Structure 1
Amino acid sequence: MLVSPAGQQVEYVPAIYRTREGVVQIAPQRVSYEILPAVTRTIYRTVKVDDGGCSWEWRVIHGRKVLCKIRHKARYKRVAETVVVQPERRRRLVIPAEYESVAEEVLVQPEQRRIIEVPAPYQTVARRAVVSEGSSGWRRVLVPRHCRY
């Protein structure tokens, strides 16, 4: 006897992922220029400001007024001077590319769906069945070791 009809059962197998690590470039190599200022130094020099020379002036010597020639020494002054030791210059800077380690999930096997055929189950069941319709009436029956007709 048929217990239940045949059918299908769906079985899902989940997707399989794996983590993969790799190196990714974040920024490319760049070139920039830097301006280095001039290198200067202060030098001190003694400079002749006045040659000196002669001048005349009136003086009173022993009660008498006398015109005297006076010699003056040369005058010098210390002067600070800024000297460029190295001129201003541009320097080329190469900035290397920047890299970063990145972990990402990669699909190894996609999700699968399997359909399983389920056969119809049958079971043996005992039940009463009518073999023939009942009847009423006389009939001859042979019984062994009894009389014959």
Structure 2
Amino acid sequence: MRYISWSAVFALAITPFLITSAMAGGKAIACYQQATVPAVYKTVQERVLVRAASNRVVKKAAVYGYQKRRVLVQPERVSYRKTPAVYQTRQRHVLVKQASIGWEYRMIKGRKTLCKVKHPPVYQAVSERVKVQAASKVAVRHPAIYSMVKEKVMLQPASNHVIRQPAVYKTVNRRVQVQPARTVWQPVKIKGCRY
């Protein structure tokens, strides 16, 4: 089957207006009729985006644990202990009356006699408190006191980890129009027409 171009169609369309009354009723040498050519489609494969690429942040919590630690409870210090003075009670003889010579009457054989008498010194025992050792201050060292305590400590800090998720595509079939439907003039065999 043959088709003619649009320019030919246009020419054919205006031909009746050009035919004069002298030409009417002549012998047809070619005849054409309008026909519709359906649209042409084809199936194509197309890659389409199902899910766009994205980033996902994964948070990792901090990790804690327990450990023992030596802590100072009381620092080293020095105190002083006082030692009181030591006393003793001692006796000593004190001269109360010195030796002397004097006169005194005595009865000798019933007769009163004046005698020259030597008197020895007189001593008396006196008790007195004597310091044997003076008071003193002695330094006493007290060592530091430590204790072990259990405490919570961070072993690993919290962190963020980014996971990249790639885009997801899939291939789909799609019907596309290659050529739209159109109207054409096509030759026909009609009695009385040469073709």
Alignment TM-score, normalising by the size of structure 1: 0.52
Is contact 2:85-2:136 (8 Å) kept? Answer: yes
Aligned positions of 1:116-127 closer than 5 A: 116-123=163-170
Q: CA RMSD in A?
A: 4.8
Aligned to 1:92: 139
- Name the structure with the higher helix share: 2
Which of these residues, 66, 69, 72, is aligned with residue 19 of structure 1?
A: 66
Query: Which whole-Å CA distance do the structure 1 matches of 2:169 and 2:185 have between them?
Result: 43
> What is the deviation of 1:91?
2.1
- 1:6 deviates by 0.9
- From 38, 47, 56, the equivalent of 1:9 is 56
Cα offset, 1:98, TM superposition: 2.0
Q: Deviations over 1:42-73 (max 9, x none)?
A: 79xxxxx9xxxxxxxxxxxxxxxxxxxxxxxx
Q: Secondary structure at the match of 2:176?
A: coil
Alignment of 1:1-149 (within 5 A): 1-40=48-87, 87-123=134-170, 128-136=175-183
Q: How many residues align?
A: 131
In the superposition, the TM-score normalised over structure 2's length comes to 0.43
Query: Deviation at 1:35?
Result: 1.0
| Matching residue's letter, 2:65 | R
Does the CA-based 8 Å contact 2:51-2:167 persist in structure 1?
A: yes
- In structure 2, C-alpha distance between the alignment counterparts of 1:42 and 1:83, rounded to whole Å: 9
* Counterparts in 2 of 1:83 and 1:111: CA distance versus 1, 3 Å: closer
Q: Deviations over 1:66-100 (max 9, x none)?
A: xxxxxxxxxxxxx896876x542322211111213
Q: CA deviation at 1:23?
A: 0.7
> How many percent of aligned residue pairs carry the same amino acid?
36
Amino acid at match of 1:104: E
* SS of match in other structure, 2:82: strand
Gaps of 5+ in 2: 1-47, 91-95, 97-126, 187-195
Distance 1:118 1:81 in 2: 102
